[in-house]
Amino acid sequence: MVWLATLAVPAAIVLLRQPLREPGINKAVRYALAALLAACELSFQSWYVLTGNWGVHALPLQLCSMMVLLAAVLLVKRNAKLGDVVFFLGILGALQALLTPNLDYSFPHFRYFHFYIAHIGIIAACLFWAAVERYRPSFKSAARAYVWLHLLAIPAAIVNTATGTTNFMFLARKPDTVSLLDLLGPWPWYLLQLELVVIALILILLGLMKTIEWSTNWRNEK
């Protein structure tokens, strides 16, 4: 069911991209998706508070937590430079999370629904930006996303170092669950190897988008 939703929602956005460009429909869908993403983070923080577990570990400094918030802003503001960051980091981060979920709760727990709705929402926002808003990534936009990944890592690294307990963006150690990082070396060497992996994945995503752009009628769509 989860993977059906993961495939169905983005597919619907791509297939319905023309009617989704109608001004009234476009604004309604953009704002609704932005509200959903914002509600995901608000409900997550509320859950921590209501269960008495809120602490520094709940700060939205994981990559996908930041992408949830930035994707919501993107859908409202339609900022091109922000779109570069959200498109690349959002898709790559959310896909990695969905493929190897770092999740301690199962259906029907709140965290189960929150996790999948938030990550599918990120991908939906990115594809809305590409298919409906006609985003066309370039090498420059890919480079901007790469630079911003490191800028976003700065506060995460500072908090990790200051607390000694948090592991935002998995900079302090590998996650306890199965992940792509298991294929890399031990800390801190996997951080250096991850640089090459990130560059490769960004270029692959850029190449895929360019292939779609040049092999379909997306280039000429109005």
Grouping H, G, I as helix, E, B as strand and the rest as coil, residue 86 is: helix
pLDDT of residue 169: 97
Grouping H, G, I as helix, E, B as strand and the rest as coil, residue 126 is: helix
164: left (phi over 0), alpha (psi -120 to 50) or beta: left
Instruction: Give the integer Cα–Cα distance in Å for 43 and 30.
Output: 20
pLDDT of residue 219: 59
How crowded is residue 9: how many other Cβ atoms within 10 Å of its Cβ?
Answer: 16
pLDDT of residue 47: 98
- The pLDDT averaged over each successive group of 10 residues in the chain (222 residues) is 77 93 97 98 98 96 98 98 98 95 90 96 97 95 98 98 97 91 94 97 97 75 65
pLDDT of residue 40: 98
Annotated domain spans of the chain: 2-220
pLDDT of residue 143: 98
Could you tell me how far CA 216 lies from the centroid of its own chain? 25
**In the 8-state DSSP scheme, what is residue 139?**
H
pLDDT of residue 173: 96
For the whole prediction, is pTM greater than 0.75?
Answer: yes
**In the 8-state DSSP scheme, what is residue 59?**
S
pLDDT of residue 186: 94
For residue 156, give both structure tokens: 């995460």
pLDDT of residue 25: 97
pLDDT of residue 1: 64
